[in-house]
Structure 1
Amino acid sequence: MSRRTALPPLNALRAFEAAGRHLTFRAAAEELGVTQGAVAQHVRGLEAQLELRMFLREARGLTLTEEGRAYHAAVSQAFAQLSEATARLRPAPGHVTISVTPTFASKWLIPRLPGFGLAHPEIDLRVMATERVTSFHSDGIDLAVRQGETSFGASIRADPLFRQDIVAVCAPDLVGDAALPLGAEAMARQTLLHDTHDLWPPFLRAAFPGTRFGRMRGIRFSQTTLGLDAALAGQGIALASRFLVDRDLTAGRLVQPVAHTHQGPHDYFLLASRRRMTPATAAARDWLLAQADGPA
């Protein structure tokens, strides 16, 4: 081959590129994990093959010659293009965006996220907590957890997660030594913590049939999670789906002052688009379903 077409050894080009950036053989050697002498030898070999001096050796370090400066710019650009091309060949980490309500996020999903990270370290899970209805296409959503009927449209795959089994909960100190479950008279003296679902009227009618409750003290919140936080703080009795409070009930942070379980009108479903289901999305979906079937 002619000098014009014969490429220098890759190691020589790497040594030259690193030395040209650092302008010292020592720093280039540290970056490449070789000895300073090896870098100097590669550069001398490159200069010999090209029959050009790439550097001026000075007491303060190296200085690129005019030819070396031009060649270094071209070699650096070539290495950058090789790095970009190699990166494009490697599969990017899986990204999965899941849309959930703030209550579902704080009371059920977030406590389980460490387990997801251990099971799927290759997936970058992004949690979007919002009450509004989201669009898989326009909002870039891969999965969503919402309450509703069994039909969400032909383009949506809906897997049941939890029944909406509504229970009343409060802090143990709120009821003190009172015998549980509370009777209607004791219940009438309690403060009710309401949310936007407004389930207290049907709950009380079913839990205490034939009893007419007058106006009861109450506090209203825009989100169920706020009502549950208030219940944990001993400010009243809240209603929530059992799966959202199972951990607090098991740990004794909450108790059930009323034995009744009310079947709500809308169960929880895990939603996914049938049109796009990446391997990462499928893995996250399977993990969520397994968690829903597992212990609290």
Structure 2
Amino acid sequence: MKRQNDIAWLPLNSLRAFAAVHETGSVGAAADELRVTHGAISQHLRGLEDRLQRKLFTRSGTRLVMLPEAADLADNLVRNFRAMAGDIDRFRRDDNILNITVTPHFAQHWLLPRLGEFLQRHPEIDLRINTDATVHDLEQGDFDAAVRHGDGNWPGLSCERLLEGWDAVVAAPSVLESISIQTPRDLTKLPWILDEDRDIEMSRWFDDHGIAHRAHTRITRLPSALTLVAALDGYGVAWLPHVYAAPYLASKRLVQLFGDDLWSAGNTRHYYLCWAEGRSRPGFRTFRQWIRQQISE
């Protein structure tokens, strides 16, 4: 005789239907989620109650209401089904494939100049890089890791700080030829190039230096990946992450204005390497070790 905790006893389709009703909130939505009929879901629920020999729902008019103890069971089922899906996904995927998503700026100005060394050292890893600005779901999606800019507080993720996020006000020498810059207010006489995603942060810089944001009549907003390029081409003053501007400051293609313009000590927005807790395949561990070495050099 089979024990009741034997997997052969489990009514898997009925349990999936039950978990889907709990997760979606209704029989109809669960039917849509599982791509079956409303009647099929109802039949699975009746069959599960018969199998368990206890009620799972009460009726409120025409609506089914899950009993509290049944909701606890459904919570556990949802969590375990997700864990199973994650295990199967990791099993079916080649361990040598590494999918990462990074910000466009980080990809262009930090990662790509160093990437050749990684590919040469690890030809066995099939690296795939996504550079759109979307914040992708690392727990349920196809990405193994992400480089994000923020405070490092993303629930469900492990995050490791890579780069400090302080910024510098810079310009090409040609922009400064015809004007003497003595105070931050003098910068309002020059055209500015701003990252379209960081307008609030730039406004704070203006405020900290007693400059009305609207005092600038020539502001061009560009995607983050283009702000450094536009600054190098002499289109105006830019407010850039120092880590990206540093090589061009050293070569004097850019000039840093007001060298003490670091972020305040309370700034918590930095660059982080993030991954879902419990999801760390060999390819990612190799990449994580390599990027740590690059940061420390």
Scaled to the shorter chain, the TM-score interval is 0.5 to 0.7
For 2:244, the equivalent position in structure 1 comes to: 244
Which residue identity does 1:252 align to in structure 2? Answer: K
Q: Is 1:280 matched with 2:279?
A: no
Which residue identity does 2:147 align to in structure 1? Answer: V
**In 1, distance between residues paired with 2:295 and 2:217?**
35
Which residue identity does 1:231 align to in structure 2? Answer: A
Which residue identity does 2:288 align to in structure 1? Answer: R
For 1:132, the equivalent position in structure 2 comes to: 134
Residue segments in structure 1 that go unaligned for 5+ positions in a row: 1-91
Q: Is 1:225 matched with 2:225?
A: yes
SS of aligned partner of 2:113:
helix
Deviation per CA, 1:174-209: give whole Å up to 9, x if none: 112766x64245312011212221132211233x3x
Question: What TM-score, normalized to structure 2?
Answer: 0.61
Are 1:224 and 1:240, in contact at CA under 8 Å, matched by a contact in 2?
no
SS of aligned partner of 2:141:
coil
Residue segments in structure 2 that go unaligned for 5+ positions in a row: 1-93
SS of aligned partner of 2:279:
coil
Which has the higher mean CA deviation after the structures are superposed, 270-279 or 259-268?
Answer: 259-268
**In 1, distance between residues paired with 2:119 and 2:125?**
8
SS of aligned partner of 2:100:
strand
Which residue identity does 1:157 align to in structure 2? Answer: S
**In 1, distance between residues paired with 2:95 and 2:135?**
27
SS of aligned partner of 1:221:
strand
Following superposition, the deviation at residue 285 of structure 1 comes to 0.9
Tell me the percent identity: 27
Following superposition, the deviation at residue 137 of structure 1 comes to 4.6
Q: Is 1:291 matched with 2:294?
A: yes
Question: What TM-score, normalized to structure 1?
Answer: 0.61
Counterparts in 2 of 1:200 and 1:123: CA distance versus 1, 3 Å:
same
For 2:154, the equivalent position in structure 1 comes to: 152
SS of aligned partner of 2:215:
coil
Deviation per CA, 1:56-113: give whole Å up to 9, x if none: xxxxxxxxxxxxxxxxxxxxxxxxxxxxxxxxxxxx6711111011111111111111
Which residue identity does 2:191 align to in structure 1? Answer: T
Following superposition, the deviation at residue 274 of structure 1 comes to 2.4
Following superposition, the deviation at residue 214 of structure 1 comes to 5.3
SS of aligned partner of 1:225:
helix
SS of aligned partner of 1:282:
helix
Q: Is 1:271 matched with 2:264?
A: no
Are 1:145 and 1:271, in contact at CA under 8 Å, matched by a contact in 2?
yes
Moved over 4 A (4+): 210-214
- How many equivalent pairs are there? 200
Deviation per CA, 1:139-176: give whole Å up to 9, x if none: 310110112223322x4211011121011111121112
Which residue identity does 2:286 align to in structure 1? Answer: A
Counterparts in 2 of 1:172 and 1:216: CA distance versus 1, 3 Å:
same
Which of 1 and 2 has greater Rg? 1
Counterparts in 2 of 1:266 and 1:184: CA distance versus 1, 3 Å:
closer
Q: Is 1:254 matched with 2:257?
A: no
Cα RMSD after superposing both structures: 2.4
Counterparts in 2 of 1:108 and 1:187: CA distance versus 1, 3 Å:
same
